[in-house]
Amino acid sequence: MSEKQFKHKLYVKKNIEVSFTASTLEKIKTIISHYPEGQQKSALIPVLHIAQEELGGSLNVDIMDYVAGLLNITPIEVYEVATFYTQFYIDPVGKYVIEVCHTGPCALCGGEDILSYLEEKLNIKVGETTEDHLFSLKAVECLGACGSAPVMQVNTEYHEFLDIEKIDEIIAKLRSERELKKPEELTWKERLS
């Protein structure tokens, strides 16, 4: 194997202790019980969602290995799923992931302008994260809300019928919330970086 392959981010294990809280483990147990006996692998996508949400906003090898152990499957089975689905982030992301739809109907209604406005406003390019780890900007394909285009999603919340004023308002709101409470997620990310 070439050296390059070993440097792939999926091979970088930092050996950080990863664990869910007891209540999360209970939640995962319920999810596994939704599937027939021996089919606990079905719970993989829901569990990865929980892992990403509770363990700092993105996945890494340590988290994925931990999930593999929980579901009693091999780590590679987790990696291949985590890299296939666009909602799982392998690279660290900011506290707020802004995903702007730029597919057909949204593009017709100005989705691409929204994207370039956000690039300018946050002073980052698509795919990057602001220096304060607050915002990540992503261009995504259809969010299934074409009737209220242009649309973007901030973490799990939809924002529709966007225009410049609305975006200013949303960004200001998100910024001020940070000043109110210090996110615990940031400390986790600091440990990783």
Question: CA-based Rg of the chain, rounded to a whole angstrom?
Answer: 18
The one among 146, 154, 174, 186 contacting other proteins by CB under 8 A: 146
Contact 48, 81 (CB under 8 A): yes
Q: Which is nearer to other proteins, 19 or 86 (CB)?
A: 86
**Nearest CA among 53, 55, 18, 19 for reference residue 187:** 55
DSSP character string of 89-147: -SS---SEEEEEE-SHHHHHTTHHHHHHHHHHHHT--TT-B-TTS-EEEEEES--S-GG
Q: Site size for other proteins, by CB under 8 A?
A: 43
Q: Contacts with other proteins in 7-46 (CB under 8 A)?
A: 34, 36, 39, 41-46
Identity at 10, one-letter amino acid code: L
Q: Contacts with other proteins in 75-114 (CB under 8 A)?
A: 77, 80-81, 84-88, 102-105, 107-109, 112
CB of 46 to other proteins, least distance (A): 6
Q: Which chain residues interact with other proteins by CB under 8 A? A: 34, 36, 39, 41-46, 48-49, 71, 73, 77, 80-81, 84-88, 102-105, 107-109, 112, 140-149, 153, 156-158
